[in-house]
Structure 1
Amino acid sequence: MARVLLTARISDDKDHSNSIQAQLEEQRAWALASGHTVVDEVEDRTVSGSVDLPDRPKLGKHLTEVGRQAWDTLVVSTQDRLSRDDRHFNAFVGNVLDWGKGLIVLDDPSFDISTPMGRWIAQGKAVQAATELDKIKKRVTRSRRFLRKHGRWAGGTPPYGYQKVKNVPRAEASKCADCGVWLEPNPEGKGYHLEPDPVSASTVVEIVARMLGGDSLTNVCRDLTARKVLSPWDYALTKRRTPKEPKGAPWDVSGLRRILTNVALIGQTTHATERDQNGKALKVEIVRGEDGKPLQVAIPIVAPADFRRLQEMLTAQRAKPGMSRSKYTSYMLRQVGFCGYHVAGVEAGQTFEEIHARLARVLAEASIEDGADPFSHPIYGQASTKRGKTTRYYRCKTYLDCIDGKNFRADEIEAGFEATFMDVVGDLPHTHRVVIPGEDHAAELAEVLESIGDLEEDRYEHGLYKGPDGAERYRRMMGRLEERKTALEGLPSRKAEVREEPSGMTIREYWASLDYADRGHWLRSIGMRSLVTRQTDNMPAPGSPVIVTVFPPGFRENALRWAQEQR
């Protein structure tokens, strides 16, 4: 009797589907009746038949040199469950023969790859399965294109912030007053459309507001996880047809970035124009309507102007140097504290007074001399644990070449910074930035110009819109875009204003309201800097840190101005 590997696959694992279970039950019954030993069961859920067998999440490990040693025969319920790609199927059959293994297809007793005639018949069936898959793909593509065009949800998991809602019978086309989404006549109320989900949409609004206010992806994820706000993956589990218990998955930065860069937040959608052999999207474009503008398929959760600002911020954060992830990123003075011993002109053997006179002169000059950048050598947080006790400390970026070369205890340097900082500005009013929206049509005009360029490229470089019908469609779309371009160029423009307004707290009170991580984030967001040295042997506390705080331009002046206006 043989050692058999039972395999099951389903392309779309819906909650109500029992396909995997049915396949395995059939195979178990066959193995029991035949007296074979089942060595393992493979369940590849939500895996397309076009994915090559070695690349499948569950089956792949059983096809390696080590994995093959555990089984003699691979069992599948139907040939199309094995593969819907004739090239993959033929290659796999060749491998099975080379390995000296067997292959059983339960619904086809005549299936036999041991003879040329059997392989020829099996190859014919593989071609049929591949042809059917190609038809399915084209049918699904046409269906999705139609549904998108008519304002209906094309299927799958809704983007975070939205929920699918069943359509109601609609005798005539209607237009959403909030976002301009056109819903075509749908007398029978078929299908679904997207609407903002009350719970997840409110979370998106909070996240966007925090990001635009200067918060970071890392801090937002940490806070949402601490508050036990369900992550997108967990929330999707609760929204299934058969709700499932959340797994407690935390919010992660990469996942949040994908949500915040998705045009779904402004009610638009995308489609893949190029995929790899496994169906993964390689190139994605925004779906456009007959007028050449992005097709609006749902009510926006985020205002388009805020969405554009958010994309600029996320792009800038990703491109910003020195922002690589580290296990020490939680230290409060990260990117705030810098070693004062690396300022040009500071040399070994100088007295404390000479060193600080040089620091004061460099900082007062307001322009950086060659090599005199006072903030060239940041101090980094480190930790060591001995006998169960953890000590946190900072040290210079290049401590081996530093004049001082010693560690600073984190509690001492952070306490020293806080005392110096509060002595200067602690009793002044805390302010926060308030954005006064402007009237700027440049982004929409740029979008229209981009659409005009895309249309011209499609027609004159890619040969689209051919024939009388195509030419008429091109003229209609181009005419609408030109009309919109002319209208936008005639509208007034007023820049948005950013103002500092008092929050009602002093800086000391605001500081007390923040936790450790948020204090560091706030210092970095306002551009705070400090230079660190230490007392020398002839001073009251030799070795203790000495902090020189460097406030961002205008910070103290603005706070003093608000203090005077409030008197």
Structure 2
Amino acid sequence: MTERLMLLDTASPCFTITRMTTEHAPRRVIGYARISKATDESTSIERQREVIQATCHARGWALADVIEDVDVSATKTRLDRPGLARVRDAVAAGRVDTVMVWRIDRVARSVSDLASLTEEWAKTDVSLVSATEPFDMTTSAGRMLLQLLGVFAEFEAATIRDRVTAARAALVKAQRWPGGSAPYGYRIVDNPDGAGKALEVDPVEAAYVRKAADLVLSGKSVYYATNVLNEAGSVPRKAKAWSMTSLRIVLTQAATLGHMTHKGKVVTDADGQPVQVWEPILPEEDVLRLRALLAPTKTPGGERKRRARLLSGLLRCSSCGGSMRVNKTGGHNPVTRYACHGRSDGTGCTRATSIVAERLEEHVERTFLATVGKLEVVEARETVREIAELAATEAAIKSTTAGLADVDDDEREAELMSDLRTLKAKRRELLAMPDEPEVEYVSLGMTFAEAWEQRDTDGRRDLLSSALQHIVVKPGVRGRRGIDPDRVDIHWRNWTAS
């Protein structure tokens, strides 16, 4: 087959150098369009689609489809985008010869991402073509130009990021709402003190926050409070229903105290004290008590354990007895698996076990519900009043100490000094109390099967932990599909077995 280089549409803004063949079969093209914000008319999906369609029509190329990613940032999501995944699948399946975009920055915003895609597609002789930029991937000069376009796209993304960061910092300094969804319990309103936006308390949502806080502070569990809010019709910001995790965040976050955060940190004044920008939903003493009550479990190193899957932390490898962790394998279409990392961790596992996560989770769920589904759930509640009081006392000591630094009245200074002595004495009493909390077992009035239906992944893992000690997974037989029950050995707790 002979080939020649052709210069097409030189009078059109859609100017591209590409390799054409003398074959009569039209080039098979799939288009890709992306936009970060659907409100941006200059790069609208409609405009991108029209340019791609017009370019293919002018060149006699067969356009199969234009795949879209709307409200998707190429900087944040990198190559993990649903629309781009469909394009890559079409390329891998051999259904297209060319991927066409309006501009290169629609498909990638970094040189490394662009190089990754072009190398992936080059393996199947698929070219990336821009409808508005001149380059030819089949020549060294064209590949150099493509890399330069990638550099400029990355530079533009960095410039936009710096500009947005600077704008948000200026808004924070002026104590104006910097944008985005309002924290639960608040609504966005016009700034009464000038330009921009501000937050004010939403009375309906704030009442739900107050209700949940009262329940937890009175000794009810977060799970109980979550159910109360869901049954009352309350809906969180980014989910259809409350989970224990989302409720914990709202009850303990800085926004609930009327504080603003910037880059993950609470905005403070010149003295390092948090600035109260909005009206608080909960008083400070309640939030401090809630933070003490709902503090996450820590690892020996002080970092919170992250549990991403249902069986995280519950699985053991039969070969070495080590914990199995979640990983993904399979390249473009990864499969999530639980696997033993004994070899890489240096423990010397001789036959590391690996199993598909979803299949194992389905098997364990069926077995768990069949075994204990009809039993009643009993929750162990620890009395942690001393911890909450200690947190509140520490906060009061800090506040009183700060007040002493600013006082210029002898009588007021004497009062604060007296208060400080009293608070420190109370702290000593609290620290002298026994560390062991009192445990009370309370029926939740539901079966394990009923609780399973109502809980999220974290809640279901808690149910599993209450009924079983761990699960030992044995190596599988090569070529056998599905779950082999003999591979999974569930070690139940004594009360379950009896």
Alignment of 1:263-278 (within 5 A): 263-272=254-263
| Shift in Å, 1:317 | 7.7
Counterpart in the other structure of 2:480: none
- Equivalent of residue 395 in structure 2, options 443, 455, 458: 443
Could you say which residue in structure 2 is the equivalent of 1:91?
Answer: 116
For residues 15 and 307 of structure 1, the distance between their equivalents in structure 2, rounded to whole angstroms, comes to 40
Alignment of 1:315-394 (within 5 A): 315=295, 384=370, 393-394=374-375
| Partner-residue secondary structure (3-state), 1:290 | coil
Is 2:175 aligned against 1:151? Answer: yes
> Secondary structure of 1:93's partner?
helix
2 CA distance for matches of 1:71 and 1:217? Answer: 53
Deviations 1:202-254 (A, max 9, x none): 222222222222222323333333333333236xxxxxxxxxxxxxx222223
Deviation, 1:48, is: 2.5
- Counterparts of 1:17 and 1:490 in 2: how far apart (Å)? 66
Counterpart position of 1:502: none
The aligned counterpart of 1:311 is 291
For 2:278, the equivalent position in structure 1 comes to 298
Aligned to 1:233: 238
TM-score, normalised to structure 1, is 0.49
2:405 pairs with 468, 477, 483, which one? Answer: 483
Which amino acid in the other structure matches residue 136 of structure 2?
A: D
1:447 Cα offset (Å): 7.9
Return the letter of the residue paired with 1:254: T
Alignment CA distance shift 1:51-1:92 (3 Å): farther
Asked if the contact 2:256–2:281 (Cα under 8 Å) also holds between the matched residues in 1, the reply is yes
User: Once the 2 structures are TM-superposed, how far is the Cα of residue 311 of structure 1 from its aligned partner?
Assistant: 1.2
Q: Distance in 2 between matches of 1:41 and 1:11?
A: 17
CA contact 1:448–1:481 (8 Å) conserved in 2: yes
Aligned partner of residue 83 in structure 2, secondary structure: coil
Q: 1:41 to 1:305 in 2, by over 3 A?
A: farther
Between the aligned partners of 1:325 and 1:63, the Cα distance in structure 2 is 27
- 2:94 is matched with 69
Counting only pairs closer than 5 Å after superposition, residues 85-124 of structure 1 correspond to structure 2 as 85-108=110-133, 110-124=134-148
Query: Residue type matched to 1:165 in 2?
Result: V
For residue 81 of structure 1, the aligned residue among 78, 85, 106 is 106
Contact 2:28 2:98 in 1 (8 A): yes
**Are the equivalent residues in 1 in contact too, given 2:188–2:197 (CA < 8 A)?**
yes
Q: In structure 2, which of residues 4, 28, 48 is the aligned counterpart of residue 23 of structure 1?
A: 48
Q: Taking structure 2 as the reference length, what is the TM-score of the superposition?
A: 0.55
Q: Deviations over 1:275-304 (max 9, x none)?
A: xxxxxxxxx332323332223332211111
**Does the Cα contact within 8 Å between 1:7 and 1:41 map onto a contact in 2?**
yes
Q: Report the alpha carbon displacement of residue 481 of structure 1 after superposing the two structures with TM.
A: 9.4
Secondary structure of 2:67's counterpart equals: strand
Indicate conservation of the 8 Å contact 2:289/2:392, yes or no.
no
> Which letter maps to 1:99?
T
Inter-partner Cα distance in structure 2 for 1:292 and 1:39? 60
Task: Give the count of matched residue pairs.
Answer: 337
Q: Distance in 1 between matches of 2:42 and 2:290?
A: 40
Indicate conservation of the 8 Å contact 2:208/2:229, yes or no.
Answer: no
How far does residue 265 in structure 1 lie from its aligned partner after superposition?
0.9
Within a 5 Å distance, the mapping from 1:137-148 to structure 2 comes to: 137-148=161-172
CA–CA distance in 1 between the matches of 2:158 and 2:309?
43
CA contact (8 A) 2:35 2:43 kept: no
Change (3 A) 1:203 1:65: same
Residue 134 of structure 1, CA deviation: 1.8
Match for residue 265 of structure 2 among 285, 293, 317: 285
For 2:291, give the aligned amino acid: Q
Aligned pairs for 1:376-415 (under 5 A) are 384=370, 393-394=374-375
1:223 equivalent among 203, 206, 228: 228
1:219 is aligned with what amino acid?
Answer: Y
- Contact in 2 for aligned 1:151/1:298 (Cα 8 Å): no
Q: CA deviation at 1:115?
A: 1.5
Change (3 A) 1:148 1:23: same
Check 1:152–1:393 CA distance in 2 against 1; reply closer, same or farther (3 A cut).
closer
Match of 1:6 among 7, 18, 31: 31
* TM-superposed deviation, 1:200: 1.9
- Measure how far apart 1:114 and its partner are: 2.0
The equivalent residue for 2:158 is: 134
Question: Contact conserved, 1:85 with 1:127, CA < 8 A, in 2?
Answer: yes
Q: Indicate if the aligned counterparts of 2:32 and 2:87 stay in contact, CA closer than 8 A.
A: no
Partner of 1:529: none
1:131 shift after superposition: 1.9
Sequence identity (%): 30
The residue type paired with residue 307 of structure 1 is V
Equivalence for 2:327: none
Cα distance change, pair 46–262 in 1 and its aligned pair in 2 (3 A): farther
Contact 1:6-1:41 at 8 Å conserved across structures: yes
Please say which structure displays the higher CA radius of gyration: 1
Counterpart Cα distance in 2 of 1:86 and 1:448: 54
- Residue 24 of structure 1: CA displacement? 3.0
Query: How much has 1:99 moved relative to structure 2?
Result: 3.1
Q: Which residue of the partner structure matches residue 59 of structure 1? A: 84
Task: Compute the displacement of 1:152 (Å).
Answer: 0.4
- Seen in structure 2, the aligned counterparts of structure 1 residues 207 and 12 have a Cα distance that, compared at 3 Å, is farther
State the SS of the aligned residue for 2:273.
coil
Q: Secondary structure at the match of 1:50?
A: helix
Distance 1:198 1:18 in 2: 39
Distance 1:119 1:211, change over 3 A: same
CA distance in 2: counterparts of 1:298 and 1:31, whole angstroms: 54
Q: Which runs of 5+ in 1 are unaligned?
A: 171-188, 235-248, 273-283, 328-380, 386-390, 395-409, 418-432, 450-479, 497-510, 522-567
Name 2:329's counterpart in structure 1. Answer: none
Aligned to 1:160: 184
Segments of structure 2 that go 5 or more residues without pairing to the other structure are 1-25, 300-307, 312-366, 379-384, 428-441, 452-498
Cα gap change, 1:115 to 1:192, in 2 (>3 Å): same
Distance 1:31 1:2 in 2: 9
Deviation at 1:13, TM superposition (A): 4.5
Deviation track 1:14-58 (CA, whole Å, cap 9, x = no partner) reads 599982343234434444555544445433333333247532343
- Asked whether the equivalents of residues 148 and 297 of structure 1 are also in contact (C-alpha less than 8 Å), the reply is no
Q: Residue 47 of structure 1 contacts residue 56 of structure 1 at CA under 8 Å; is this kept in 2?
A: yes
Q: In 2, Cα distance between the equivalents of 1:448 and 1:137?
A: 41
Q: SS state of the match for residue 215, structure 1?
A: coil
* TM superposition shift of 1:446: 4.4
* Partners of 1:52 and 1:88 within 8 A in 2: no
| Paired position in structure 1 for 2:253 | 262
The one-letter amino acid paired with 2:142 is G
Give me the whole-angstrom Cα distance separating, in 2, the residues matched to 1:440 and 1:102.
64
In structure 2, do the counterparts of structure 1 residues 136 and 326 end up closer, same or farther at CA, with 3 Å as the change threshold? closer
Contact 1:269-1:287 at 8 Å conserved across structures: yes
Could you tell me how far 1:440 is from its partner in structure 2?
Answer: 5.8
Q: Does 1:207 align with 2:212?
A: yes
Q: Secondary structure at the match of 1:69?
A: coil
